[in-house]
Amino acid sequence: CPVPGSFLDVNVIPVAEMDRRRMDTRTQMSGTPVCLRNLAVLVLVLVRVGSEEVLVPPTNVHINGSELTWTPGLVQDGVTYSVSYLYESVWEPVPKCDHTSLTTCHLNKTRSVSECFRLRVRATRFSLESEPVEACSSHGSVCSPEVHLSAGPCSLTVLLSKNHSLFDENADHATHVIYFGAEGEELKEQEDASKPFRNLEVGRRYCAKVQFQLFGKAFGPASCEQCEVIPEQIPGGPNQKVIITMLVLVFLLVSLGVGVSYVLIYRQERIKRFLQPPCTIPEFFQEPLLEQTTPILPPPEESYDVVLSMIPMELGGD
């Protein structure tokens, strides 16, 4: 069966032109012999395969302890994965995880590689290679920081801690490096990691990742990218009007308490006099006293002798 010359030049046909010709071919196949129909379908498949210049890289490349995992792309048939680590500015292959069909790599089986190395994974299929994807740490470890994000009105704060063995051993030679940016944009390194990011657009998602830096060089895998939506107000918190109302009520209650305490302490006598009923003499005190009185008798007289002199007597004499 003769083959149309236009189907042979597969490197020149764009994808859009290929789709248009495929539709034209389908409309013309009703009166075409079976051998030509099958050959045309085969050539279309070859054109489609030849148009794939980039292999989809793996996603969710995470390292947790000594275990490296990733998610394969849409195409899995014939795809292998190669893991490499950065050693003295050169990416070296991990022997146990080179051209493997698995989606995991256990670093404890490789003596020369540990979780403190920066790792990346690349997909390979026939002669095609994907872009390498660097691994990130899904949880804090001895070589990766633990990161939390706190979103506020028009601001985002990256919460970090220096309670880590890396800071204990290296003091000020160990620092945090924050990469920050809007979702979908390239994250840029930030100079000051101690201040929150302000004047952010409300309703937009902003992302950040953090990596250790030791003696001015990147150390260990970075944390996985985390994103938060910037809210109009603090999630779950009261709005501004409620806060102002509560502050006014608290101020009034405090002022009332101070006033009552002052009155009770410094105006107590005046309050007692004000609350004291008027002084009146009871009626039974105003009645005349009875005229019957009991006579007072003088004390009885007692008889006594007056001693003019005293003569002592000798004991035992005549």
Grouping H, G, I as helix, E, B as strand and the rest as coil, residue 295 is coil
| Helix or strand holding residue 129 (H, E) | strand 128-129
For residue 266, the model assigns a pLDDT of 67
Determine if the pTM surpasses 0.75. no
- Local confidence band at 3 (pLDDT 50, 70, 90 cut-offs): very low
Q: Residues of the chain with pLDDT > 90: what percent?
A: 29
Rounded CA-CA distance 81/269 in Å is 92
Strands 136-137, 148-152: pairing is unpaired
Whether 156 contacts 197, CB under 8 Å: yes
The arithmetic mean of pLDDT across residues 30-37, rounded, is 47
- What does the pLDDT look like over 137-176, one tens digit per residue? 988 788 888 899 999 889 999 988 878 888 888 888 888 8
Task: Select from 183, 77, 84 the least CA-distant residue to 133.
Answer: 84
Q: Which region among 17-21, 169-173, 181-185 has the lowest average model confidence (pLDDT)? A: 17-21
Please give the backbone phi and psi of residue 258, each rounded to the nearest 5 degrees, phi first.
Answer: -65, -40
Domains, the chain: 5-50 (no CATH), 59-137 (2.60.40.10), 148-229 (2.60.40.10)
